[in-house]
Amino acid sequence: MSIPNFKHALPVTRAQDFAAWYQAVVSEADLAEESGVRGSMVIRPWGYGIWERIQKLMDARIKAAGVENCYFPLFIPLSYFAKEADHVDGFAKEMAVVTHHRLKMIDGKLSPDPEAKLEEPLIVRPTSETIIGAAMARWVQSWRDLPLLVNQWANVVRWEMRTRMFLRTTEFLWQEGHTAHATAEDARAETMRALEMYRDFAETALAMPVVAGEKPENERFPGAVATYSIEAMMQDGKALQAGTSHYLGTGFAEAAGIKYQDAEGGQQFAHTTSWGTTTRMIGGVIMVHGDDDGLRCPPMIAPYQVVIVPMLRDNDEDAAVLAYCEDLARALGEVDVFREPLRVLLDRKPLKASNKRWAWVKKGAPIIVEVGGRDVAGGNVSVLRRDRLYNETGKTASAIVPRGDFVASAAETLRDIQASLYGEAKTRLDANLRRDVTDKAALAAAFAGDKPGWVEVEWAKPTGAALDAVEEWLKGEKLTLRNTPLDAAPATGQCIFTGEKAVERVIVGRSY
């Protein structure tokens, strides 16, 4: 059976225009689309299926850490925000504000009813520290109530001026963990636990290698004492912040009144943390694993891991082909992979087999199996691995395999695809992360001509105005500080920016 060459079936390749390629994959893989509402997207079934997989796997990790899911209100009274000055400064410019609770016909036009104006405006949550802090203040009385560990899966709204699907949307979906602790030490340990959970999740579930580290002072979450991130390298070499974890000190506890009686009877403010990951991760998966034929979805988060496409010819062989496919789907459904039943779809849509196959290639189903009359006769299946569409000569690499062998090796093949996607991305990250740059001119040159990648440099960790000056210079080069990797080597030389003695290493790169 021959499969047409898929190359360049998307309207644009990565090399031609990475940003346009990204939009094409989002659209052609049925992941999401513009909704007609400014900055908001419709997440389509395949994209939402990936999100459901992410939710399931992340939620299991969150629960395993003893964190309990709750649900807090969408609307936060404006006064709650005003209590934490840095926090409100950080978000005031991008808040959606509810001011009325009724519409009325006025001069023939449906309008907010002036008589239903709210006494206090309500903010559509951009993040929930303030409203969850108010609940924690009710729940925490004694040291025995700590640690208090909660999480919610929710939608949040930040009024972004420039939006891009999955990466930056006015409304997005996320999980936000919020915890309160008796001591700074406990809260810092929780901050790092969440960061490590995200690192492991990104690398294991998303097959996306990341660098975990602390954000510089002026990239902190508004109101945080310390912010940590995981940063992933996209195929264009840019960095995507794919998850953050914040140690909030006692600032939010003081604003909300989260106090506890310690073992000695004294009153103390709790130390809080928050940490979140969002639908943005799907954008990262696209830009890390996608190719010129569309998405390549890591098997752990693929809504379907194996898709069976029957090749029907409107003749009397069809019934046998379908029966064979149903039996194959049943057998695959009994296979376990990554400690879950394998997810298999028999695609019965009334479309031509080649169109269906092509649609699944674009969506990135990890394994596509085609079955025609000849396969049934020979007891075979035709197997295409999405991560290796082509052989060395550029032909599609589908292989005719005995059905039993395919079923027996399906779990191993999926594990291999997951590992190979990770390996490919890790090799790229390692190859494009330079550590040999020691002066500003060389740093600028390292990014000349849109050369992809990051540079890890030594710096003195300047603060205040000195840090502002560094960021100003970087901005001129269209560069940003990403984070100071936790596992970086110790600094031994001079700060690339100030010439002072360096204290640690920081990653510089372009970013989303």
User: How many of the other CB atoms lie within 10 Å of CB of 210?
Assistant: 27
Extract the tokens encoding 336.
């376990």
Q: For a second copy, which stretch binds (CB under 8 A), given 7-15, 87-95, 225-233, 372-380? A: 87-95
> Residue 483 pairs with which residues in a beta bridge?
none
Q: Indicate whether 194 belongs to the interface with a second copy (CB under 8 A).
A: no
Q: For a second copy, which stretch binds (CB under 8 A), given 102-110, 195-203, 389-397, 503-511? A: 102-110
For a second copy, the binding residue among 65, 73, 183, 390 (CB under 8 A) is 73
Instruction: For the segment 334-393, give every residue that binds a second copy (CB under 8 A).
Output: 350
Q: Are 460 and 501 in contact (CB under 8 A)?
A: yes
**Shortest Å, Cβ 336 to a second copy:** 14
Q: Indicate whether 124 belongs to the interface with a second copy (CB under 8 A).
A: yes
Please work out, in degrees rounded to the nearest 5, the angle formed at the alpha carbon of residue 385 by the alpha carbons of 382 and 388. 125
Nearer to a second copy, 77 or 452 (CB): 77
Q: Are 183 and 116 in contact (CB under 8 A)?
A: no
Nearer to a second copy, 23 or 40 (CB): 40
**Shortest Å, Cβ 37 to a second copy:** 4
Calpha distance 187→13 (Å, rounded):
46
Please work out, in degrees rounded to the nearest 5, the angle formed at the alpha carbon of residue 185 by the alpha carbons of 180 and 186. 40
Q: Indicate whether 304 belongs to the interface with a second copy (CB under 8 A).
A: no
Instruction: For the segment 151-190, give every residue that binds a second copy (CB under 8 A).
Output: 154-155, 157, 159, 170-171, 173
* Surface-to-core class of residue 490, CB atoms within 10 Å of its CB (0-12 exposed, 13-18 middle, 19+ buried): exposed
What CA–CA distances, in Å, run from 101 to 78, 97, 157, 159, 310?
A: 16, 12, 19, 21, 53
Q: Indicate whether 42 belongs to the interface with a second copy (CB under 8 A).
A: yes
Beta strand 454-459 with 433-434 is: parallel
Binding track over 232-261 against a second copy, x by CB under 8 A: ------------------------------
Phi, psi of 27 (to 5 degrees): -80, -50
Q: Indicate whether 447 belongs to the interface with a second copy (CB under 8 A).
A: no
For a second copy, the binding residue among 9, 57, 65, 96 (CB under 8 A) is 96
Q: Are 5 and 395 in contact (CB under 8 A)?
A: yes
Q: For a second copy, which stretch binds (CB under 8 A), given 97-105, 194-202, 235-243, 466-474? A: 97-105
Nearer to a second copy, 225 or 359 (CB): 359
Sheet holding 210-214, edge to edge: 68-69, 148-157, 171-181, 271-278, 239-247, 226-233, 210-214, 484-485
**Shortest Å, Cβ 87 to a second copy:** 12
Nearest to 51 by CA among 158, 192, 155: 155
Nearest to 371 by CA among 313, 297, 414, 413: 313
Report how many residues bind a second copy under the rule CB under 8 A.
Answer: 62
Q: For a second copy, which stretch binds (CB under 8 A), given 6-14, 131-139, 469-477, 498-506? A: 131-139
For a second copy, the binding residue among 3, 76, 206, 295 (CB under 8 A) is 76
**What 8-state DSSP symbol labels residue 217?**
G
Q: Indicate whether 75 belongs to the interface with a second copy (CB under 8 A).
A: yes
**Shortest Å, Cβ 73 to a second copy:** 4
Q: Indicate whether 44 belongs to the interface with a second copy (CB under 8 A).
A: yes
For a second copy, the binding residue among 20, 92, 192, 488 (CB under 8 A) is 92
Q: For a second copy, which stretch binds (CB under 8 A), given 68-76, 186-194, 325-333, 365-373? A: 68-76
Nearer to a second copy, 97 or 377 (CB): 97
Q: Indicate whether 121 belongs to the interface with a second copy (CB under 8 A).
A: yes
Q: Indicate whether 98 belongs to the interface with a second copy (CB under 8 A).
A: yes
For a second copy, the binding residue among 36, 265, 476, 490 (CB under 8 A) is 36
User: Each residue of 123-141: b (16+ CB within 10 Å) or e?
Assistant: bbbbbbbbbbbbbbbeebe
The secondary element (H helix, E strand) that includes residue 240 is: strand 239-247
Beta strand 367-371 with 306-310 is: parallel
Q: Indicate whether 135 belongs to the interface with a second copy (CB under 8 A).
A: yes
Residues in contact with a second copy by CB under 8 A are 33, 35-37, 40-45, 48-49, 51-52, 68-78, 81-82, 88, 92-104, 110-112, 121-124, 131, 134-135, 138, 144, 150, 154-155, 157, 159, 170-171, 173, 350
